[in-house]
Amino acid sequence: MKNSLRFLGKELREILRTYKIYTIPGIFLLFGFASPILTKLLPDLMENLAGEINIILPEMTWRDSYTQLFKNLTQIGILTVILTAMGTVAEERNRGVAHLILTKPVSRTGYILAKYIAHLLLVGVSAIAAFMATWVYTRILFTGTRFTPGLTATGLYILYAAVILAITVLASSLTRSAIAAGGLATAGLFVLGLLPLFSSGLSKYSPGALTGYINEVVAGTVPAELWGAAATAVLSAAALLALAALSFRRQEL
């Protein structure tokens, strides 16, 4: 346990020394600052682009600002997470670094978990920072801004990102190529997005349903099914990590 914690600390320090500390926080914060401004300017932008055509848009509110943030985070933000984490195991195996690390008293399961937890902390802190930036600017630009719906939606987003990150770590443990791992993880993201289309149960309780629940929470409703989807997401992430650890233990370094 002590060795695993030391290795987790090593992973966190490595993130602080590499491009990862700039990529995910930078992109997330960009969305955090830009989303309220774009939402506020959207009616004027549409009016200018429409020219002679009369386009009537409903008045933008703080909910629209939050919705814009999470739309960006669940699309471009998630792809950034995949691109950043896709080489986390594959590259170290390819360069022989994993073999050197595992000669020390660090188990392969501990190795996988440390990689995952370090990246999840990076994503979680970045998502919270992005929401705080959006909340501050939204309070300035819109009246009646509420904090709790946005914070709850941020928690759901982190849970969704945790599943995607687990898929990425699994993909990275299956191959020595970061590009191949990124392709597999992107395919997993695509499948996860399609699952809610196959049945009413999956549309309510699969991890992919969380993106819809994020919008509902921002809109002011908390469906009872949300907690089932959240539980499924936790179990899915745990199962994916178990598969990653099992696969990694059976492979030659």
Domain boundaries, the chain: 2-249
Residue 38's CB: how many other CB atoms inside 10 A?
17
With 60 as the cut, is the pLDDT of residue 99 above it?
no
Check residues 229 and 48 and name the one with the higher pLDDT: 229
Which distant-in-sequence residues (6+ apart) come within 8 Å of 56 by Cβ? none
CA proximity to 73, closest of 140, 15, 146, 158 = 158
Which distant-in-sequence residues (6+ apart) come within 8 Å of 206 by Cβ? 192, 195, 196, 229, 232
Longest dimension (CA), the chain: 71
Residue type, 234: V
Which distant-in-sequence residues (6+ apart) come within 8 Å of 95 by Cβ? none
Q: How confident is the model at residue 37 (pLDDT cuts 50, 70, 90)?
A: very high
- Please give the Cα distance from 81 to 172 (Å, whole number): 13
Question: Is this structure's pTM higher than 0.85?
Answer: yes
pLDDT in tens, 137-168: 999 999 999 999 999 999 999 999 999 999 99
- Please give the Cα distance from 79 to 83 (Å, whole number): 6
Q: What length is written for the chain? A: 253
Residue with tokens 């950034």: 80
pLDDT in tens, 186-235: 999 999 999 888 888 888 999 999 999 999 999 999 888 999 999 999 99
**DSSP letters spanning 67-97:** HHHHHHIIIIIHHHHHHHHTTTTHHHHHHTH
Q: How confident is the model at residue 47 (pLDDT cuts 50, 70, 90)?
A: low
Q: How confident is the model at residue 84 (pLDDT cuts 50, 70, 90)?
A: very high
Supply the pLDDT for residue 155: 97
Highest mean pLDDT among 8-22, 75-89, 194-208: 75-89
Check residues 58 and 60 and name the one with the higher pLDDT: 60
Q: What are phi and psi of 125, to 5 degrees?
A: -65, -40
Supply the pLDDT for residue 171: 95
Residue % of the chain over a pLDDT of 70: 88
Report the Cα–Cα distance between both ends of the chain, in Å, rounded.
Answer: 23
- Please give the Cα distance from 226 to 106 (Å, whole number): 37
Supply the pLDDT for residue 217: 96
Check residues 50 and 108 and name the one with the higher pLDDT: 108
Supply the pLDDT for residue 253: 58
